Structure 1
Amino acid sequence: MNTVDKVNNLSKSDFISIFGNVFEKTSWIAEKTYELKPFLNFKTLQKCFLSVYDKCNDKQYLEIFNLHPQLAIEKFMTNHSQKEQSQSKLDNCTKEELQEFIQLNHDYDKKFNFPFIIAVSGLNKNEILDNFRKRINNNVIEEFEEAKIQVKKIGTLRLNQILEKVNEDI
C-alpha cells in the first residue's frame, strides 16, 4: 500500500493526530484537509493542505503567526519547532547572539504584533540573523505577506517529513 492510500485509510482522529501540527498548533487545518479526502497522490494532499491555509482570512493568519515560537529564546515549543531550531543551531547561541535575538524578537513583535517567522530548515544562525535584521525594516504589509509565505514553507517541509514517517510507520 502506498503512502497516500495509507493516509486515505486513516481515521479522522488519527489523521489529525499525525498532521495536526503541519501548521504550528493549528489542528483545524488538518481537520478541514481531512474532509477533502480521498487524496489521489501526494501532490493532491499537499495542494489540499495549502488550499485550506490559503483560504484563511487575515485574522486567522495572525492567529497562526502568533502560535509560532520566538526564535532562539522560546522555552516551550512543539517537537517540530524544537527540532527545526536545533538543526539551525539556535539552541547553541553565544551570549552576544542570544542578546541580539532577544532584542530583535522584542523589536519585531512590538512593530508587527506577531513573532518573526522564517523557515529555518537549511539555514544557519548567521543566515537567520541576517534575515531578521533585514526584515525588521519591512513595513507591516510586506512583513505580513512574508510571514504568510514562510508559514507555508514551514508547513510544506513538515508535511514532507510527516509523509516520510507515515510511509515507514503505517
Structure 2
Amino acid sequence: MGSAFDEKDYLACCGSTKFAKEMVSAGPFSSYDHLVNAARDIWFNKVDVNGWLEAFAGHPQIGQSPSSSNKTPISAQWSKGEQSTALATATDSSLQELSDWNTQYWQKFGFVFLICASGRTTSEILAELKKRYLNRPIIEFEIAAKEQMKVTELRLFKLFSNVTTAASANNAEYSAGVASKAEDRMSIVGAHLTAVSEKPTGKPSQIPARTRPPITTHVLDVARGSPAAGIEVQLEMWKGNQPRPVFGDKDVGSWIFRGVSTADKDGRSGQLINVTDVVNPGIYRISFNTGKYCPDGFFPYVSIVFEIRESQKWEHFHVPLLLSPFSFSTYRGS
C-alpha cells in the first residue's frame, strides 16, 4: 500500500504551492524512492520560476529564527534542526558576519542564500556563501534550486519514515526494525546531501548506491532563455602516452570514446556513462555539437576538459554548458 500525504505535508518539505499540488496529484507513493523521483521531476520540470522563488522565501536566513518565515510549524521545527550544527558552532562575531553577507547576497540576487545546512558549521556555511556570492545570477539561481531539492529530499524522507513507522506500531518488533532502518537511511541521506569537497582515503562508510551516472550534463541556450534541446553530446576519456594532456604538446595522444547522447526537451543529456558507484579517475572531455545546433554561431563545436582525481571517484560530476552564438561558459554543478 502506498503512502498518501496532503498539500500541507508537502508544503512543510518545500514551500512551493505548485510543488505541493503536483505531489498530491502524483501520489500515493509506494516507497521513498518512488516519492523522491516524483519530487525531482516535479521540482525541476513542472515548477516555474515563481514556484522556485516561493519555496526560497519559505526559508529563514542561516543563523536566524525560522518561526517568522516558515509556512508550517513542522517546517519551522525542521529548519531549526537543520541549522543546529551551525548555531552550535557560531559565535557573536561569526553570526554578525553571516548576517552581513546574507544582506549582501540578498541585494545581489534578490532571494535568501539557500544551502542544505544539516551537519555544516557556521564557518563552512560562511565560506560557501562567500564563494557563491561571486556567481552570476543565472548560475546562482540554479544552484539555489538544487540546494532546495536537497533540503526537500531530506524532509521527504523524514515525512515518509514517520508515517511508515507509525503504520507499523501494532507490531512492536517490526516497528523497531523500521525505526532502526529509518535512522540508518536518515544518516545516509543526510551525509549524501550535505557532503562538501573532502578528500576521503577510501569509500565512505555511508554512501548510497548511485541512481544516475557519475558524469552528467545539460545545455542551456542563454540567448533564447531555454534548454538547448536536440544538441548532440559526446564523452571521452584521455588515454594518451602522458598521464594527462599537456598544453602545447604536439603529441596529442588519444581520447577514448565513452558515450554519446542527445539533449532532451529540458536540455538534459541521456546516459553518457554507465551507472556505477566508482568513476575511474582521469581526464575527461565532454564535447557538444554546437555547430549543428546553431549553424550561424561562432563555435563549430565546444569541448570541456576536466579532471576527476583519485580522492573524488565517489563524487558526482555535473558539467553543464551555458551557450549563446558568440560565447559559452560552464561550471561544476551538483
- The TM-score with structure 2 as length reference comes to 0.44
Of 43, 46, 64, the match for 2:55: 64
Bigger Rg, structure 1 or 2: 2
Partners of 1:111 and 1:91 lie apart in 2 by 28
Partners of 2:27 and 2:161 lie apart in 1 by 19
Q: CA deviation at 1:91?
A: 5.7
After superposition, the Cα gap between the structure-2 partners of 1:121 and 1:159, relative to the gap in structure 1 and judged at 3 Å, is same
After superposition, the Cα gap between the structure-2 partners of 1:169 and 1:26, relative to the gap in structure 1 and judged at 3 Å, is farther
Q: Does 1:135 align with 2:125?
A: no
Structure 1 counterpart SS, 2:47: coil
Of 17, 34, 39, the match for 2:24: 34
Q: Does 1:113 align with 2:103?
A: no
Structure 1 counterpart SS, 2:6: helix
Partners of 1:30 and 1:75 lie apart in 2 by 20
RMSD in angstroms over aligned alpha carbons? 1.9
- More deviation in 70-79 or 102-111? 70-79
**Letter of the 1:83 counterpart:** G
Structure 1 counterpart SS, 2:95: helix
Number of residue-to-residue matches in the alignment = 159
What is residue 3 of structure 2 aligned with on the other side? 7
- The TM-score with structure 1 as length reference comes to 0.83
What is residue 22 of structure 1 aligned with on the other side? 13
Structure 2 regions of 5+ residues with no counterpart?
71-75, 168-334
The percentage of aligned residue pairs carrying the same residue is 28
Higher relative contact order (CA 8 A, sep 6+): 1
Of 39, 44, 49, the match for 2:34: 44
Asked whether the 8 Å contact 2:86–2:120 carries over to 1, the reply is: no
Q: CA deviation at 1:102?
A: 1.1
What is residue 79 of structure 1 aligned with on the other side? 77
Partners of 1:37 and 1:164 lie apart in 2 by 16
Partners of 1:109 and 1:127 lie apart in 2 by 19
Asked whether the 8 Å contact 2:66–2:79 carries over to 1, the reply is: no
Greater strand proportion: 2
Greater helix proportion: 1
Of 99, 102, 110, the match for 1:102: 99
**Letter of the 1:101 counterpart:** L
